[in-house]
Each structure stands twice: as structure tokens, then as C-alpha cells.
Structure 1
Amino acid sequence: MTVTNNGPSASAGVSVNDLLPNGYTYVSDNAGGAYVPGTGVWTIGALANGASTALQIVATVRATGTYANTATVTSTTTDPTPGNNTSTSTPTPVASADLSIVKGVSNSTPTVGTNVTFTLTVTNNGPSASAGVSVNDLLPNGYTYVSDNGAGAYVSGTGVWTIGALANGASTALQIVATVRATGTYANTATVTSTTTDPTPGNNTSTSTPTPVASADLSIVKGVSNSTPTVGTNVTFTLTVTNNGPSASAGVSVADLLPNGYTYVSDNAGGAYVPGTGVWTIGALANGASTALQIVATVRATGTYANTATVTSTTNDPTPGNNTSTSTPTPVASADLAIVKSVSNATPVVGTNVTFTLTVTNNGPSASAGVSVNDLLPNGYTYVSDNGAGAYVSGTGVWTIGCKSSPPCVRPAPTPTRRR
């Protein structure tokens, strides 16, 4: 404010009334105490003819209120021209709203394939209301959009969340649910803008960067070339390991130690399978990839036949229920029976006795059940006796052994008399 005495006399008791309206907040002045902001009175005192004096008042423009600021000068000396004793300045304030955004995530180390929820909170720190507020948050390719609670205000294809007007001091939030993918960019940035001037743009952007944990659903299927193999023959077990993703799997191995119902013969793993430990080392297995192993084994006569294989990995597996597979062939018994028959005298005298010895041997590999021998003496002999304790019936020639063990079952034959 500049006050001038245009004369012709000196002016006494000069003062100015300039009480700031409610559109401003007083900050300071340069009157050295002559101006009282509470009353708005600036006391000048005497002012010589032709002299001028000035006052500067610093004020903060408020978001609302009256902005027309009027100052009126008065004096105890008569003023012949009172029309120039008042002056008004009316600034037109430009709205200013300090918008800020904070972005958080429900899980900073999510497992690949699971969902995370990003929460965006926009706050208007004022001092004005903010108009045309919107947020740009297009999910990067490390995520797949699932849903949001914006009721249509968020468009996942563009990433724009339209807020509109936001009052001074108000906040609003949006939650976006997304699935974490196996690969891609995970730094997710949101930026808020407005048609209202923002005096502090440095807080208009917020980034959340989860660190995904790899996850790979490994599965194993075990099959056998013959579900009812004959004891003593070979079967081929085929193990197929598949990585169903979504991540690549590291440190993959399979434990398949053959049970004692089998004897290891060979495999096609080129050294990756160790029959002594049953460990098949696979290593890394890409998402969607499969690999197979064939193990050839001989079926033994006795033992455990359920053959179980289990796959493991150093990568997290979200579905461990398919990591084990069992194949249980039902072996068919097989026993190689042999019989040898000898006679006590190859040139017996007619009318004397000879002894026929029958030796039955089970060469395995299985025990043999229901064993019997048919040896009906021809008419060149007359039956005398046997040591079968009733197991041999001379009238039919049947010797019932019934031996089930693999050691030889030996029974001396009947002693006949050779006819003349």
C-alpha cells in the first residue's frame, strides 16, 4: 500500500485501515510494528506535503473466502478529495491441491500363481479441492488382472482409475487383485493427476515391487510294461515327470529304489539313475516340460512288488499330492519242474526185484503247487511196494507230491518184480 500526501498542507494523524478478509491468512509486514494485523490499522502519523510512504503485507491465499482487499486512509487534517482515500485489490486465486498417492501390496513375497491385492490410496492434502482427479496404474506383464473394487471406475485395459473431484483433506482408495505370473515385470507404479494445480508433484507417484517366489507343480506317473508278469521275466517301469508350472523347477530328482521283489537289470538314463540308491537326478525342468525314465527289472519269486516313485524339487510345489506314483504288478508264479528216473539194475534177472527211483526237482524261480507224477508200471512188471507212505497209488500210477518249495522233492519209486 502506498499513501501519498498531495498537499497543499502537511497531514497529521494519518492512519490506514486494511484488515485482511477471510480469504487470506496474515504472514508478516514491513511496518516495524506500525501495522496491527488483528485490527488492520497501520499508524503513519504526520505526512509532509508531497511525501509518500508504503507498507507491504504478506498473506497466504486461502482456498475459500473473500479475496477483495480494501484499504482506507484517514487523517485528522481535512482532506478536500476523499474519493481517492480508498483502494481495493481483488486477486483471483488459482486453486491448488497437493495430491499424494501411496501404493501397498498384500504380500511382498507372493508365490507365483497366487493372487495379490494392490491397494492405492489417494489423498488431497489441500488447500483447495481437486478436480478431474485420475490415477494411471496399468498392471505390468508380471501380473494378470483378476478384479477390482472400483465399481467400473477402474479400466484394467488402460489402467485408468477415474476419481473426479476430491475435497480438501479427503482420501479415496482402490484395490486391484492380480495373479502373479512366472515371468515379467513386477514393479507396479501408480501416478495420480488432476486438472487442479498441484504444488508438490513429487508425491504423485508410488511404486510397489513384490518379489515373487517361484512355484512349480511337479507330477509323476509310473507305468509298467506288464501288470501280470511271469516270475523270472523282465518288466519295464516307465516314470514320466511333468512340470505343470507356472514356474521353471530347479533341483528336480526322483526317488525310486526298486523293492526286493525285483532285481535291477538296466535303465536308459545315461547314468542319471543310480540303482543302488534309487535316485534319478533330473535337475532343471522348464514350465510345461516332461521327461521320462525306463527301468528294466527282473521279477523275483518273492518280495514286495509295489514300486513307488516320488519326485521332489528345490522349487516350491503348490500341489504335492501328485508327486508320488505307485505301480504294483501281480506276478504270475513260474516253476521249472524236472524229473529224473533211474533203476537199481539195468539187466535184472527175470523174477527178481528192481527199484525205480524217481527224483523230481523244482528249479524255480517260484514254488510249485499241486505237483504230481504219473508212473503206471507197464505190464512187464508186477508192483511190490513203494516208500511213498500212501502218496503213490499203484493202481493208477499217480504219485501226489504237492510240494511247494523250490528245493528238490524226491520220492523213491515203487519196487516192482520183473516178470519172466
Structure 2
Amino acid sequence: MKLLQNLLVALLAVFLCSSFSFAQTSDLELTLQISDLTPDEGQIIEFEYVVENLGPDNATNIQVDDLLPTGFTYDSDDSGGLYNSVLDILNLATLNDGAKFTLKLNAYANAGTNGTVLTALGSITSLDQSDPDSSNDSVNLDITINYPDLEVTKIVDEPNPDEGMTIEYTITVEHLNTTNLSATNILIEDILSTDLTYVSDDSGGNYDSITGIWTVGTLTAGQDSTITITAIVNSGTSGKSIDNIAQVLSFDQNDLNTANDQSNALINVTTADLAIIKTVDDSAPDELQLVEFTIDIENNGPSFANNIMALDLLPPGLTYVSDDGGGSYDHTTGIWTVGNLTDGDSAQLIIQATVDAGTAAQTITNNASITSFDQVDDNTSDNTASADLFVNGADIEVVKSVSDTNPAVNDVITYTIVVTNNGPLKANDITIEDILAPQLNFQASTESQGNPYDSVSGQWFVNDLDSGASATLTIDVQVDPSANGLLITNTASVFSVIEDDSITGNNSDSVDIGVGSADLQVLKSVNVATQSEGG
């Protein structure tokens, strides 16, 4: 009986083993190292592939494809026949858990691949087991095939020539790379500007001045070649910037680095650089004061400047009195006939004028400029000048706002008045007037300085304000029921100040409120406006 039981248990075990199988997994990893990532054409380099089994089970019937990158030719390997160079396949029968297999594959870049990027894309394509991590089953590594890197440099012996001067351009082309590959059939293009006239070159007939092509020929690594081209700067080019470019036109090989394939040499044809300077003897005069403007014109060279004309027309706010130009200045047109100036020479004009009444606190700008001369001035940034007059006075500015532009009856609203002295002088004894409409009942006021606001007269004595300083008044009012439906305008303005202020456009400011059902478009309104001294 016991023998029968043992037999049944054995049969059951066999049944269970035959009915259920457990999948095996092998995490294979492929890595690659390349002996030279920038080889020459024809240079043999080594691709070292490593296939490693990270487990947990042994791996069988492993196949690795695409080990030789496109553009390379097979030379040899150390696989002992496991690598098929025709099919580009590596076959491994078994790789135990934790084991590695290394393949050293030697190959060279094909002719014509210089200057290209070839990519190694080997990958594990099959095995009997399941691979739980496919992210490490392939490689992707770029190889840049060495190339002739041609560099062009160009210089000129005189970057700032005069018209008619003879100049020399020197162009050098150099093969920079250490590759064994020569650059052949090199053509460089250098077409002279139409502002230059070709004279000669030292290429021995290899430069064509009509097409601008220089036939260089062949350069080995580290070799260079130089040409000097002589030309004349044409007349009529004064003040011009003339750019001349030399560049690689063509050669037989590829050049991945084209950033250094061209070079330019810029010349700026010299002329007379005229500069004008203007000053005033008092930049903060009073009204009716006599002021004196001095205008200087300088020739900074390097050549003559002929038939110079300048303009200085006095602006509104100034009245012409006299000048020392001896008839060369016309004050009605503002034209000053300067004449000729040699390199380093200068001319001067003094104009006297009075400051007009009614200009207090204003800024008056008097401009002068060079309008013409026979030569070209390539630096026009100094051809104009100005002198500012800040006429004494105090520019008082009033700005008014309200906390609620559409209040209801019995609401309390706040008016805010800001008074600013824009200068240039200190303002003394300032009084602001803000008369409230009868529909607004005064409640309280707050002043940042000066006397309290008088709600009966509507006046606030601010006292003094330095140039740039401000003072603030807030007035709290309650909207009377009689204001319902009305549009009420409230105005604050300068009532008085000791200093003159000819800038009156900012001496007052107004705000509107629409009460209750009224909005700012209603037709019925109460307009409280204040006319005052200085406002």
C-alpha cells in the first residue's frame, strides 16, 4: 500500500512539472568603446564591444547585429569565428549569468568620408530568454572622420587711407588640421570693391583680378599659402567704409568647420571730422537778462574741410542783440558761413541775446549744427550741439483726485490735492484755492504742511516748497441730498505764489462726481471753477 502511495506522488510531481513551466530571464547589456573618435580616412581603429549577462539566468542563442558602422570597411576581429563580417552579426551560443564576452573589431573609414559623422549602432537583437531591460541592449556613438580645416585670414596695411592712397591686402589660407589628408584643388575668391582699382599681386599669375579667383592648389596639414594684392583707393570715396572679403570658393574635400572659411578687411577712407561745441555764459538767467552763446567748430582732420556752413537760429524766448561774426552770421536765417578749416584748425562765433519776458520757469534750448561742407564727415555724432537755459522761476503743478466718482447721497468722499514745485527755484508763500460746491458739506481736512484748509474761503496756505518737493491736502466732504442726480465739478488751483510761473497749463486740476442716479454723462451739472492769481 505504501509503495502505491509513493508511486502516485511521483506521478503527480511529473504531471505538475510537465504542466507548468517558469520563464527564464537574462538582462543582457551591450557597451562599446572606440579607440579614436576622430580618425582619418583609411585609419584602422578598434571597436571594442562587450556583451554582459546581468542575470539572473544563463542566456543562450544570443545575436548582436550592426556592429560595423556604415562608411567603415572590415579589417579583422578576435572573435575566433563568432563574428560574421559579411552579415555583420555576432552569434554567442551561451553566456552564463555574470559572464562577459568581448569582441575587438578593427575597421577603417572609407575614402570620401572625410568631414562626415558616422554612427555606431550595434544592438542585441535576439536570445532564447526574456530580457527585462531593453534600454541597455544597444549603443549609439558618433565618429567624426577627420577633414582638412581651411582657415582664411585677411589684413590690410592701412585701415584708414586717404583717397588716392595705395594699399596692400594680405590673404593667407592655412590647412589647420593634423589629418594626413591634404586639401586639393583649393580656390580662394577675393573680388575687389568697385571703390578700389587693382594694381598688382605677387601670386605669379595664380590670381585673376577680373574674376577675383586665386588658384592655391594643394595644402598638406599645417601648410599655408599667402598672396598680397595691391590696389588704389578711388577718388570720391571720402568717408566711405569699404569692405573686402576673401573666402574659400571650393576644394575637393569636405570641411565641417566653415566658420573660418572667410575673412574680411574693412577700410574707412578718411575725411575731415568736424565737431561743433556750444556753451552759454549763464544757464539760469532771469527774464530780460543778457546772455552770451559761444559756438566753436573744430576740424579734427585728417584733411581739409572746405565751404563749411553752420546753422544757429535763436529759438522763441530769446531776442537777438549782436554777434562778432563780422557779417558771416545772418541772425534772421541763423546761417553762419564758416569757410575753410585745415586739419586741427577751428572757428568761433559769439552771439548775444536777451531772455524774453514771460519765460519764467521755462527751459529754452538753443541748437547749433554743421549743415554742409565739401567733404564727407563719417562721424556725424558731433555735428550738432545745444545749450539749455533754465529761466528762473517756479513751475507749480496741481493734481487733484477723488476717492469715489459716483457717490450716493449722504456718502462721505475724499478729495486729494497734490502740489508739486517742478523748479527750478524754490517757491515761496504758495496758496491753493479749492472752493467746495454748495452741495458738498465740509467734514474735515488733513494737510502735510502749511496752514489748515479754510472751508469758507476755500484756501490752503501751503507755505514754501523746494524745487522737486510736494505737499498734499485731503478734504473730506459729505454729499448733500440736494446733489442727487447732479454732476459736480470741483477744481483746485494756484491762488498765489511769489515766484514767476509762466507755465500755467498745470496750475489747476478738476475732478467730476456723478451723484446717485447721475453718471458722468448727465446733462444737469454744477460746475465750480476758480479763477485765481497765478492760476
TM range, normalised to the smaller chain?
A: 0.3 to 0.5
**Higher RCO, 1 vs 2 (CA within 8 Å, ≥6 residues apart):** 1
Q: TM-score with structure 2 length normalisation?
A: 0.30
Structure ID, larger Rg: 1
